[in-house]
Structures are given as C-alpha cells and as structure tokens.
Amino acid sequence: MQEHEEDLRRLLGDEGARDELGLNRGRKAELRGEYLEGHDQLDTHLSRFRVLPVVNVLLGDRMPRPDRTPGEKDRWCRAMLILFKPWRLLEDLKHRGQSWTAAFNEMTFSDKAKETMLNMNVENECKDAKDKYEALRKAGKVKPLLPGHSGATASSDIESLTNALHRDAAL
C-alpha cells in the first residue's frame, strides 16, 4: 500500500518522474477555473484562460452606434457594459432605474477595453465616409478617384490607379 502511495506521489508531484515516464507530453495546460456552485454547467464544463490573444467575432444584429440618437447611444452603452464589465446578474451591470448610459459613465474601463471600443466603431465610420463621398460624387462636387469600367485595358487601369494615388497623398 505504501509503495503505491509513494509511486502516486512521485508520478503526480515530481516533474522529473513525469518526464521520465512521458507524462509531460504536449502543450502545457492552461489555467482553468470552475463555475460557481449552482451553475448549470458546474459538473460538465470548465472556464479556460487563453494564453494567446484571440479576436472575438460578434454574431447577430449590427452593433449600435454611439454617435447617433440618444436611444441608440443607450443601446451601445448597454452592449459595451455587457462585453467589458464583469457580471453575473443584471444588477451587476446597472442599478434598477439607472440608464445604461449613466451606468456606462460610472464604469472605469481599462485602456485596452477603451481602445477596443473605439476600434469597434471604425467600420461604421468607414461606411459613413463612403456614403458621404458617394453623395458628393453624385452631386458633381468631387471627381471620382478612379474612372469606372470603360473597356480600357488592364495596363491603362493600372496607370489610372497609379495617377490617382500620386494625386491624392491621403491614399
């Protein structure tokens, strides 16, 4: 009996013994955490801390915009709190009767979270710039940066692109 306990202790606690027996193969285990008591997935799941950075992709409806109506800004604040503030219950996000915007303004976000929030709106800003440019172009207030398809050869298209790039330092 004591021999087995000693073997187990050696196997589980001694890194050299684990290496000798080939038990330390593969990548190093990442930090893990269990769900709280009473959680539906307590017995079946673990939460894993990711060592390498990941890019989360949000699925579903478009992200509300902070630069539109007050109602849309409130929905944007709600989305940012859900994504960036640690919470378990709705009451962790905001107080009863408090607006999402007020709860957002009370929260202190990390610099990384603030940067991510700004980057989440870049696509909307690009769409706005495209729409504004298209409206100006259609009104004849600006010339197109590139000519449309006119049956020109590929080499003249490249030449047109090169000329446009030289004319506009912002590109």
Structure confidence by residue, pLDDT tens digits, 32-78: 888 889 889 989 998 888 888 888 788 888 889 998 899 999 999 99
Q: Is 122 inside a domain boundary?
A: no
pTM listed for this prediction: 0.59
Q: Is 121 inside a domain boundary?
A: no
pLDDT of residue 150: 46
Q: Is 28 inside a domain boundary?
A: yes
Q: Write out the residue range of the structural domain in which residue 20 sits.
A: 2-48
Q: Is 11 inside a domain boundary?
A: yes
Q: What is the DSSP string of the chain?
A: -HHHHHHHHHHHH-HHHHHHTTTT-SSPPPPEEPPPTT-TTTTT--EE--SS-------SSPPP-TTS-HHHHHHHHHHHHHHHS--SSHHHH--TT--HHHHHHH----HHHHHHHHHHTHHHHHHHHHHHHHHHHHTTSS--SS----S--HHHHHHHHHHHHHH-TT-
Tally of structural domains, the chain: 1
Q: What is the mean pLDDT of the chain?
A: 81
- Inform me whether the pLDDT recorded for 103 exceeds 90: yes
